[in-house]
Structure 1
Amino acid sequence: MAQILAPSAQWQMRMTKNLTEATPMASKMWGSVVMKPNKRVAVKSTAKFRVFALQSGNSTVNRIEQLLNLDVTPYTNKIIAEYIWIGGSGIDTRSKSRTISKPVQHPSELPKWNYDGSSTGQAPGEDSEVILYPQAIFKDPFRGGNNILVICDTYTPAGEPIPTNKRHRAAQIFSDPKVVSEVPWYGIEQEYTLLQQNVKWPLGWPVGGYPGPQGPYYCGAGADKSFGRDISDAHYKACLYAGINISGTNGEVMPGQWEFQVGPSVGIEAGDHIWCARYILERITEQAGVVLSLDPKPIEGDWNGAGCHTNYSTKSMRDEGGFEVIKKAILNLSLRHKEHISAYGEGNERRLTGKHETASINTFSWGVANRGCSIRVGRDTEKNGKGYLEDRRPASNMDPYVVTALLAETTLLWEPTLEAEALAAQKVTLKV
């Protein structure tokens, strides 16, 4: 179960004066998306309601907002659980709500549920029932109170994991005694791109045109360099509230592109936390009227792609003499390069070109402090003789259950033949 981190104070953005209470995510968003403040303007939209529409104090939108912000805790023990699962594409998050009779502390206290798999591309119409198994719970930053978000995986009525259920296999790997004893840590850097809703063009870019070339945008500040900071900050706080082990955020190299980091997380927890963080980000961008893209190369040309760099270490890597263990792990990874690439995200060949801080998809390499390699080792790891490695190959749309489990399997459970190991030792490219 995720740790529950209550915020020190509820945070607000341009709330109407007559609202005295609000859930953490209720606000008038967003500086980079909405109109100028203090103007009574209704936003035209296909959505029924825009929370950020600026209206008079007694408007319909304001009354709906008051209902959304109701704290029902004094009146009932019942809570709302938002069951979340991964859809048929393997990257889309789906969810639906149900009432639970009382607050819960562990997913085992929650009932299994079901959904229509024929509507998500996960089951045929004549046998469409898919069963949801609750696996991890987080506090709900949208509803507040004792309400929760529930990460689930998916099974047939007979109890067999369906093909898109990658968590099941990951849980098997992470429960292996060899893996458990090594306490695998992960730090995952999730890059993403914000797109304008109607034109599907990056946020802050002129419609049909391009901003100035890359250079000033990475970790930049200013109206001409940073587009979508309020969404990134809202997501940061919402994740902390939820109990997600988010460790940082930053603006990325391409304008309109951002990154958040989750970890260090142990084993299966890494995948649970990334998937819940992605779901929260989808909900925030939904409220802001912005489209979230996890495409690994959203804009062709001289622009950085979007990855999901995965930092990884085991107990042996973190102990004295760990650098030699890291080198052995890199050797194993070189021998299974094709298997990893095939599991590291759709469209990754458009990103891994050898340019824009990537290695070629066809060549395995590693180096110290070299971001043009498949595997990067930090200067501190080299200096201290122990630490971690960074796998820079995963795409932004990778499945974290697949990537984390595959890293553990290749470095802890898989053993190459002596001949293959000797040959790889001669061929693996070290870039300095």
Structure 2
Amino acid sequence: MIARNSYPPSWYAASATPLPTQPALQGRIDADVCILGAGYTGLSAALELAEAGYKVVILEAERIGWGASGRNGGQAIAGFGCGEAKLEALVGFADARRMFDLSREGLQWLRDRILKHDIACDWRDGHATVPIKPRQEREVRAAVEDFRNRYDYPVEWWSREQLRAQLASDRYLGAMYDPESGHLHPLEYALGLARAALAAGVRICEHSRVTQLVRGARPVFKTAEGEVHCDFAVLAGNALVHGIAPELDAKIMPVGTYIGATVPLGEERARALIGNDMAVADTNWALDYFRRSRDHRLLFGGRASYSTLPPPNLRGTMIRRMRRVFPQLADVGIEYVWGGYIDISLNRAPHFGRLTPNVYFAQGFSGHGVIATGLAGKLVSESIRGQSERLDLFAKIDHHPFPGGRALRTPMLVAAMAWYKLRDALW
């Protein structure tokens, strides 16, 4: 059982600088904009709007950054979860390129906010995508050429020897190294955005679960103890929101993801694992991803649950996966293990837009949300201020409900994921 004022146990929660609990909503409030969800999307939109002079209220069911924004893998990567080839198939190359360039802008926006508001979230430059099998190596090499020649994005191909000079593992055949992407402390970043938003005049109401959205000329968010009347409403709760907008619920699925943090390794031993302090992710469907922490741990993510049930013996599984990458950690245990839900769309592409002229939403980040969530918040804020062209670009992506309805969509997804895992294992 999680105490009312606490976060789910994790290394992030244990190491973050806490923010005082914000009072729950009581009674009626009037605002220009009301946002459901105090994660990256909601906080980013609120900060942009407050700096432009809008009166903004955020309603959060738990604590700031309580969901995926405060528990994720911390890898901030340009692009979107579906990949560029899928986007090109959905909207054509010209619009896919515009979307990719917007993700780069989102990455720069993240860096700018960290500097402007002095957010101590341990930002580090560099990300490596690492293939394990020859098929994956061919795919990653082709992606390097595509990024460089068609997207003007400065990634590099590292040979196995180049990678081995930075990463103390023999598991991988090389790397696509991305110097612009990087990693951070997710909860510290969320709390830093919240401090900036509060300083700009945003009112954040924690422990204020929305029970109903009444649509109309002035939408109303209702909670158990109050309501907010606003000119514009924003739905930014992603995988943790159900029933507020059923037409959105059908187009995303919650997927459990899991991370472990080792005991402190000491600076020398941690540095020996990843010499340049980059983040790393492999290319399997059920991927491993890892990076160093500021207190010299290895943060190792892997496994995913498409059934909404936690995997059995999660700690033991994480240790085995970690030691498969780093056999030299055979004597090292995992001190923290935690998980949470991300939202995926059927095509893994971002789903941003409007339900009505004054009700906005952003979802479908599909495991690629550290940058895309902030971008979504920025685009929503632009649209509320009268500049909708960039948000409307994403409306060109066709999104469908998951097949099978509520009764069958989860087992159908589990079966599909089993096929992808089998493919990774066999060839």
Structure with the bigger RCO (C-alpha within 8 Å, sep 6+) is 2
More helix by share: 2
TM-score (norm 1): 0.22
TM-score normalised by the chain length of structure 2: 0.22
Whose strand fraction is larger, Structure 1's or Structure 2's?
A: 2
